[in-house]
Structure 1
Amino acid sequence: MKPLKEILKEVEILEVYPKDESWLNQPVYGVSDNSKEVSEGYVFIARKGTSFRGEDFIDEAVERGAKVIVRETPVETEKKLQGVYQIRVKDVKKALSQIVLNFFDHPEKKLTLIGVTGTNGKTSVCYFTKTLLQTLGIKTGYVGTIFYEIERRIPATETTPSLIRLAGLMKEMVEKGFKACVMEVSSHALDQGRITGLKFEVAGFTNLSRDHLDYHKTMEDYYQAKKKLFTEYLAPEGKAVLSFETESGKRLYQELKDFLSEDRILVVNNGTLRVEILGLEEGLEVELKFLNTGEAYRVKTSLFGEYQAKNLATVVGILMALGYSKEEICSRLETLKNPVGRLELVAEFRGAKIFVDYAHTPSALEHVLKSLLPLKKNRLIVVFGCGGNRDPGKRPLMGEVAENLSDYLIITSDNPRFEDPERIIQDIKQGLKGVKPCKVIPDRKEAIEAAINLLEKGDILVIAGKGHETYQEIQGKRYPFSDQDEVLETIKRLNKEYLK
């Protein structure tokens, strides 16, 4: 509990109603911008969302126990809210940030924050960074797509949750002695100002390719959202680590040079650090070349996937930006393993390898399939679908990529959400030329079983699109579903049948 005056520090207030003698001493037991999460003694912040007005939920918040309403619109003095203070602020987003961070005792000031944005690679880069910092003796939390980790693992609801959730997670990290937090920063969070108030000591950029155009509408809007991590959320002496693996990285470098000094920008992947692949079959083996000093380090890892070489370069850049030496970093790379659902080797069956991956964009799927080609001794079989109520333009592109790089294709359902799975599949098929064997099996469970039944010695099977997810979203409901579990259950069932 905190008195209202403590959580309103540095908040620009325009008016308060009713303004009696005791309003600043009102006890506050929690803060929320979601009326359904309000409890007795809470502050409800009526912010504007992408598809709703916070003011429309004031009555519900009051019914649930809110004692303070923070709003941007004029206070409704004519509307009696018994025992409730209404506070009008100049900027409700900034007020939310200040109120939340005040309430949680500013945990962001007690942690080294590292944020990574980009279309692909965020999860691997963040997870690898967290793992390496742990080996260096720095207790480090992780917030991202696969889960939130603070000694315990918490299922992730969003890649970058609301500041209210983030502040609560960071406060727990501080209380448990954590010194750093590595965070995936999504374009949605940046566009919506979801991390207002946070400043990152290191901000990383992986790449940019087509994704989320259902939300951003254009690639330029998508790029500008990503750029905000560096222009609005970098600490005064913070450093940027940029990968040149796509043209967007090079563009970002040129634009950041206008207001960041050269010593605050590290460039990897054909910049000052280049990673050359030496081997793939038994795990990724690379040579890291530091072009400005001529130093080179050979590293044998347990990672699968050619694309992880670029992610490793970004990770090395981030650790160097934090002040660690090349030797300290490179000597620990061999300890890394692919994160759950990122080219994860789930099983081997009949002499074939079965991988699960989160690839759900054309470029991500292309990277994954190209990474697996050197491993196959026979066929590369792909099972994938596309999500509903998301950018439909990428569906035929993913179909084209899958057909070009695979030997056998099974198109299935992903998270159809509120769309007809058959319609999504038809969109995917628009990208096919009919030059490879292809089956359509809308039921994902049946599709996985059919693919495993096809396996022969030397095959590679990749099940793409859902990765770490443990659900399938259909008509607004999430049903339990895990690609990994389905693979293992199918193999178990087939082995039993074989032994009969």
Structure 2
Amino acid sequence: MLLGEIEKICNLQVSENLKNKEVKGLTYDSRKVQEGFVFFSIKGQKTDGNLFIDEAFSKKALAVVSQDCSGINNCIEAKDTRKCMGEIANYFYKEPSKSLNVVGITGTNGKTTTTYLLKSIFEKSGIIGTTGYYFDSIAKKLDNTTPESIDLNEIFLEMKPFVNYAFMEVSSHAITFERISGIDFKLKVFTNLSQDHLDFYQTMENYAKAKASFFKDNDFRVINTDDYVGKSLFKKGYTITYGFQSADIYPTHYEFDINGLYLKLNVFGDTYEINSHLLGLYNIYNIMAAVGSSVYFGVSKSRIIQALSSFKNVPGRLEKFIKEGRCAVVDYAHTDDAVKNVLTTLRQLAKNRLIVVFGAGGDRDKTKRPKMGKAANDLADIIIITNDNPRTEDPDLIISDIVNGIYNHEKIIIEKDRKLAMIKALEMSKEGDIVAILGKGHEDYQIIGDKKYHFDDREVVRNFWNVESK
């Protein structure tokens, strides 16, 4: 690609001396700049890319794209650097998402499980999301649920020879910060909306607007119409709906125990009978989202039923460990709605006590903490409050925020060391008890201060009980 070609993409002006120069690569990270690269100067929440322009040019960057080019040579000014970065990346990598069936899944909860369910149904498919990106024999971790646009295009290019379908989690931040600019989505899915990220969005209205802005007029979509935001996204002729109320896909019967759920779905008048290893009412929603998406692409009824019935579990999502009549469950639930959903499910399944171990992330939405505490108070018999990822926040203040939502203080045990908190719960468990370990799920690290340490909830349970997950 010649640098002058970007003029037509984002309505940019490139100086004559640069127009015929060959672009050898793109990056938004000054540490990755090589000779002939275009460096995109992004203004982030913590720092400004313009501070790294000198470093980029010292590494022989061809040019810089920035929203402020004052006094900078070989700088191309853009009104929206992030949006342009996505569109230019899409062009530079020859539109890799167009040759795939990319499905974008957004919502507060259920994104990860839905991507995994879809991957089980579709052969030659990959996923991108919270747990990383996976396709064929490739498995790599990601820093963000939805990577930056350059990274996304590189992932699609990497996937292209191996997959026909890419199932991708789309976070609200990815929508707001234009990480998905230039990506060609064949289908979009909306799961639900509940409180999260209010440290950034301030109000639920702003958060809902961010999610809803993912859906454009003529986008084909699969939406949960039990959710008020989902209802607002309905567009006749472009929508498959699912829910427990009036919808194209809805359950006519369901029952579940600790081993999974049996489900009958009405799918456009046809009955699908599914025996799933997943637990809980909310996973019925995830199954319906996967069924709706599969129907959109014309997958056969028999294939959908067979795949969903064979699917075992998502890493760190209601992942079960069973020992001598006791059950420990590791789950990523880190919002008040997710905590309530998981504990409601486990409360119904516990033959004896429900013990919960959880904390809350530091430097994140503080208003959800007492609500998480209230959910634990209402549903658990014993509440062990511990550290999650406290980051730079005082762990005692985080715990205090959680305790503010708990009115029965006799249930509370505080143990800031997460490993000791988990072992305490496992040691005190008896036959018929369920121990719910919430907040981190698949994560294999803990962030304390500004340092990241190895820590895996599943590893602690596995080693202490000497059992593998079911």
TM-score (norm 2): 0.94
Q: Distance in 2 between matches of 1:459 and 1:368?
A: 15
**What is the Cα deviation at residue 337 of structure 1?**
2.0
**What is the Cα deviation at residue 358 of structure 1?**
0.2
Q: Which residue of 2 aligns with 1:239?
A: 220
Q: Which residue of 2 aligns with 1:42?
A: 37
Cα 1:252–1:10 change in 2 (3 A) is: closer
**What is the Cα deviation at residue 49 of structure 1?**
2.8
Residue aligned with 1:113, SS: strand
Q: Distance in 1 between matches of 2:10 and 2:222?
A: 33
Q: Which residue of 2 aligns with 1:4?
A: 3
Aligned residue among 332, 337, 348 for 1:363: 337
**What is the Cα deviation at residue 5 of structure 1?**
4.3
Alpha-carbon contact 2:3-2:14 (below 8 Å) kept: no
Q: Distance in 1 between matches of 2:39 and 2:359?
A: 40
Cα 1:91–1:456 change in 2 (3 A) is: closer
Write the deviation string for residues 264-286 of structure 1: whole angstroms up to 9, x where unpaired. 11110121211232233331111
Alpha-carbon contact 1:353-1:460 (below 8 Å) kept: yes
Residue aligned with 2:313, SS: coil
Q: Which residue of 2 aligns with 1:340?
A: 315
Write the deviation string for residues 447-489 of structure 1: whole angstroms up to 9, x where unpaired. 0111111111111111000001010011111100000011122
Cα 1:247–1:301 change in 2 (3 A) is: same
Q: Distance in 2 between matches of 1:376 and 1:140?
A: 36
Q: Distance in 1 between matches of 2:162 and 2:127?
A: 14
Deviating more after overlay: 200-209 vs 58-67: 58-67
**What is the Cα deviation at residue 325 of structure 1?**
3.9
Alpha-carbon contact 2:145-2:171 (below 8 Å) kept: yes
Q: Distance in 1 between matches of 2:418 and 2:80?
A: 46
Residue aligned with 1:307, SS: helix
Q: Distance in 2 between matches of 1:91 and 1:375?
A: 51
Aligned residue among 369, 376, 380 for 1:395: 369
Cα 1:282–1:74 change in 2 (3 A) is: closer
Q: Distance in 2 between matches of 1:71 and 1:211?
A: 31
Residue aligned with 2:237, SS: helix
Q: Which residue of 1 aligns with 2:250?
A: 274
Q: Which residue of 2 aligns with 1:93?
A: 82
Q: Distance in 2 between matches of 1:492 and 1:477?
A: 29
Alpha-carbon contact 1:129-1:319 (below 8 Å) kept: yes
Moved over 4 A (4+): 5-9
- Amino acid of the structure 1 residue aligned with 2:45: T
Q: Which residue of 2 aligns with 1:132?
A: 121
Q: Which residue of 1 aligns with 2:229?
A: 248
Deviating more after overlay: 124-133 vs 371-380: 371-380
Runs of 5+ in structure 1 lacking a partner?
494-500
Q: Which residue of 2 aligns with 1:116?
A: 105
**What is the Cα deviation at residue 12 of structure 1?**
1.8
Residue aligned with 1:288, SS: strand
Q: Distance in 2 between matches of 1:266 and 1:132?
A: 18
Q: Distance in 1 between matches of 2:389 and 2:200?
A: 17
**What is the Cα deviation at residue 364 of structure 1?**
0.4
Residue aligned with 1:13, SS: coil
Q: Distance in 1 between matches of 2:112 and 2:206?
A: 22
Alpha-carbon contact 2:69-2:75 (below 8 Å) kept: no
Residue aligned with 1:381, SS: strand
Aligned residue among 403, 420, 437 for 2:411: 437
Q: Which residue of 2 aligns with 1:481?
A: 455
Q: Which residue of 2 aligns with 1:162?
A: 148
Is 1:264 aligned to 2:259, yes or no? no
Q: Which residue of 2 aligns with 1:469?
A: 443
The percent of aligned pairs where both chains have the same amino acid is 38
Q: Which residue of 2 aligns with 1:24?
A: 19
Residue aligned with 1:95, SS: helix
Q: Distance in 2 between matches of 1:310 and 1:221?
A: 24
Is 1:201 aligned to 2:186, yes or no? yes
- Amino acid of the structure 2 residue aligned with 1:263: G
Deviating more after overlay: 419-428 vs 85-94: 85-94
- Amino acid of the structure 2 residue aligned with 1:208: L
Alpha-carbon contact 1:117-1:185 (below 8 Å) kept: yes
Is 1:287 aligned to 2:273, yes or no? no
Runs of 5+ in structure 2 lacking a partner?
none
Q: Which residue of 2 aligns with 1:56?
A: 51
Is 1:221 aligned to 2:206, yes or no? yes
Aligned residue among 380, 385, 392 for 1:418: 392
**What is the Cα deviation at residue 50 of structure 1?**
3.5
**What is the Cα deviation at residue 356 of structure 1?**
0.3
Q: Distance in 2 between matches of 1:41 and 1:199?
A: 27
Q: Distance in 2 between matches of 1:112 and 1:29?
A: 28
Is 1:177 aligned to 2:162, yes or no? yes
Q: Distance in 2 between matches of 1:452 and 1:331?
A: 35
**What is the Cα deviation at residue 53 of structure 1?**
3.3
Q: Which residue of 2 aligns with 1:68?
A: 63
TM-score (norm 1): 0.88
**What is the Cα deviation at residue 327 of structure 1?**
4.1
Q: Distance in 1 between matches of 2:350 and 2:9?
A: 60
Residue aligned with 2:281, SS: coil
- How many residues are paired up? 463
Residue aligned with 1:27, SS: coil
**What is the Cα deviation at residue 317 of structure 1?**
0.8
**RMSD (Å) for aligned C-alpha atoms:** 1.9
Q: Distance in 2 between matches of 1:192 and 1:459?
A: 44
